[in-house]
Structure formats: structure tokens, C-alpha cells
Amino acid sequence: MSFQIGIVGLPNVGKSTLFKALTKKQVDAANYPFCTIDPNVGVVAVPDTRLEKLALISHSQEIIPTTIEFVDIAGLVKNAHKGEGLGNQFLAHIREVDAIIEVVRDFADKNIIHVEGTVDPERDRDIISLELVMADLETVNKKMASLHKEVKSGNKEIQKNMLLFEGLKTHLEQGNLAREFVCGYEDKKIIKELNLLTIKPLIFVLNVDENHQPGVLEKKFGSQVIKINAKLEAELADLPTTELADYLKELNISSTGLDKLITESYRILDLITFLTSGPKETRAWTVCRGAKAPEAAGVIHTDFIKGFIRAEVCAWQDFVAYSGEVGVKEKGLMRLEGKDYVIQDGDTIYFRVST
């Protein structure tokens, strides 16, 4: 199960530097607009301290975390929806991802030019938002045009959808984001089929330096904002694991900004993790929240969906506290769950399947 997070923003705000830090994959972060033309994709492990604890109990030979894909998308500029810069090519790349990280620059560096001439995080955020809204408005207009003839046929379902899209169009024309459009559950499902850009989950990354004054911008940007010094994080990413751990311990920091960003990216996609643990490996697996046991089994192997019999489930904490499967069973904490069981984050599971 693969999910992609697109990293977007204006040119020279630190997107490629952040991507390099995230993936330890060298990309061209040259100091000029449009240096990243084709999206770079990197697969990143999701930090999960539970894995080492389970592996210690199971004496696992290997630990395999779950992953997310990050896509470094080239910089957008004002009027991209009209073809400015690399225009719709970038918008198409954004349309393909499951969620968006929008990087906004809040650092001063006379050696790094800003495409708008000055550093202004709020202005930059508004430029990006407007470009995405305008692209969504074009999508809605095309959809309405395609339904225009069918409306005249008297099809009540089509007429109802047309009214929905008219309301959404007005909402977008006022500069609002699609995710802020108020409608019912069924209407949301219809709108989701349009694959609008501003309906995708979003995290703001405020790319700061050591002179950043905390508080003001974070309040204006809302709760989903993460401050990161991308340049520093890129340097930390180059440190050996042991040196990084010692450095963080010295500063009394439990995790890097990157770890927080990866974890938050995973969360906004409404994903959860279930775990398997044994002598061969301890492994994290990803499912969407609300997934049932056969679907989770199918993540391990598609044949397991059809062959699903039952799941032996316990909380990961109990697996650790009582020294594994045998101890959990002795305490009566191992549950047998059927096809209707809804997977919970942190479930440690052994699937029984027919072959």
C-alpha cells in the first residue's frame, strides 16, 4: 500500500533541501527557479519506536518499518494556472499525490533569491492557495460543461449534482478551498471524484532559520503547521545514526523535525499501523483507518483476503509486557477476531488463513 505526499511551494523556499533531508537522496537544489522539473520520489520510513520493543521480545532478525513516498514537485509561481513558469505540468503532478506539504519560506538569505523579490510567508501561502483554487475552478467548470446537456434530459440525479457543483463553483470563485465547502456526506463523495487539489489533506511547513520568532505566523497559519529548519535538518540527516542519537540526547530532543513531519504526514492521510512480530522479522503494515481484518491480511498477501479464517490479536503493549505470544495467551489477552473486526492502531496480529 503506497501513499504519496507532494512537497510544493514557490521556487527557492527550501523544498528540495527538505526533500534531501527527508530521503537522504541528493537532488539538484541549485539557486534558480525551476531547477526541479521532473518530480523526484523518495521512500521514507515512518518512525515507530514500537518496532524495536517488539523485535527485542521476538528476537527478530530484521525490523521493517512502514513507509511513505515523498515527491519533490518543482516550484509554482503566480499565474501557474495560466501557464506561467512550468504551469499545468506542476499542477498535474500535484493532482497525482494523496496529500500536500506546502513549504513556506521564513528565512532571510541575500544569497538565495526569492521569486517575488522579498520574504513574505503569508503572501507566498496566498499565491499557492490561489493557484490551486483556480485550477480546481477550471476542473469544476469542465465537469459542469460536460453535464450541461444531460441536465436538460430531466435526470433528477444529474440536476442535483449540477446544483452541488454550482454551489462549489461559487465557493471557489470567492477564493475558498474545496475542503472548506460545507455539504453532506454523500455530496462529499461526489466531490471527491473530481480529485480537486484543495480538497487534499495539507500540512504547512514553515522553513525557518535560527532567527525565527515563534508564535505569530503559527497562529495565522492554523494548527497544521510545522516549523523546520530544512538546512539544519539536511545536515542532521547526514550524521550517522549513533551520532544523531547522541546529539538529540544532548539537546534533550526526543525526535527531529523531520520525524515529526513524517509522523504528521502519515496521520493526515488517516492511516494506522498494525504489527507482526516473530523470529524472522518484526514489521509494521499500513491500512486506512476503519479497515477490517481481511483487508489488513490482504496487505500482507492478496491471497489472504480470500483465505482469511480469523485473526489472533493483542495490543502491542501486552505483547511486550508479557514476553510475547505465549505470555499474552496465558494472561488471556489474546483475542480471536473474525471478518468484521476493525483494525486498531498498534494491534499485533497473527492471521490464520487457508491455503
Q: Sign of the CA dihedral 81, 85, 87, 93?
A: negative
Is residue 65 in some structural domain?
Answer: no
Closest by CA position to 312, among listed 298, 297, 323: 297
d(CA 114, CA 108): 10
Report helix, strand or coil for 237: helix
- Cα angle at 81 between 79 and 82, to 5 degrees? 70
**CATH number for the domain including 322?**
3.10.20.30
> Quick check: 172 and 72 in contact, CB under 8 A?
no
Give the domain range for residue 330.
Answer: 290-353
Instruction: Check residue 289 and give its pLDDT.
Output: 95
What is the tally of structural domains in the chain? 1
- SS3 at position 173: helix
Is residue 30 helix, strand or coil? coil
The cell numbers describing 82, all together, are: 495560466
In a domain, 202, yes or no: no
Task: Give the 3-state secondary structure of 241-279.
Answer: HHHHHHHHHHCCCCCCHHHHHHHHHHHHCCEEEEEEECC
Residue 78 lies in a domain: no
Structural domain includes residue 128: no
Closest CA to 50 of 274, 208, 242: 274
Residue 160 lies in a domain: no
Q: Calculate Rg over the CA atoms of the chain.
A: 23
238 vs 42: CA distance, rounded Å: 16
Residue 316 lies in a domain: yes
Q: Would you say 35 and 86 are in contact if contact means Cβ atoms under 8 Å apart?
A: no
Residue 110 lies in a domain: no
Residues of the chain with pLDDT under 50: 26, 31-32, 34
The string over 228-247, giving b where at least 16 C-beta atoms fall within 10 Å of a residue's C-beta and e elsewhere, is: bbbbbbbebeeeeeeeeeee
* 126 touches 204 (CB < 8 A): no
| pLDDT, tens only, 179-191 | 999 999 999 999 9
Would strands 67-72 and 4-8 be described as parallel, antiparallel, or unpaired?
parallel
- pLDDT at position 28 is 56
Q: 282 Cβ partners below 8 Å, 6+ apart?
A: 51, 54, 55, 58, 60, 62, 63, 64, 275, 276
DSSP output for 280-302 = SEEEEEEEETT-BHHHHHHHH-T
Tell whether 278 is covered by a domain: no
Q: What is the pLDDT of residue 218?
A: 67
Q: Sign of torsion, CA 185 188 193 195?
A: negative
